[in-house]
């Protein structure tokens, strides 16, 4: 039964599924200036702008 549900989700909107593959979740470690501890900055961005996100300070 679960396989049928997965198939139904994939074939429901093929255009939206193809567009979703262009987005990526990026996690960047950022060091806190006060404590020196690392925090993590998460974002879901388009695959074309990954380098610009990681190069930001």
Q: For 23-55, what is each residue's pLDDT tens digit?
A: 999 999 999 999 999 999 999 999 999 999 999
Beta bridge pairs of residue 26: 43
Percent of the chain with pLDDT over 70: 79
Q: What pTM value is reported for the model?
A: 0.60
No. of H helices and E strands in the chain? Answer: 3, 2
Per the prediction, the chain carries an average pLDDT of: 84
Q: How confident is the model at residue 17 (pLDDT cuts 50, 70, 90)?
A: confident
Q: Is the pLDDT of residue 10 over 70?
A: no
């Amino acid at each position: 039964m679960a396989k049928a549900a997965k198939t139904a989700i994939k074939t429901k909107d093929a255009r939206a599924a193809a567009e979703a593959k262009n987005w990526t979740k990026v996690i960047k470690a950022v060091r806190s200036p006060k404590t020196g501890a690392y925090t993590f900055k998460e974002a879901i961005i388009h695959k074309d702008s990954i380098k610009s996100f990681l190069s930001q300070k």
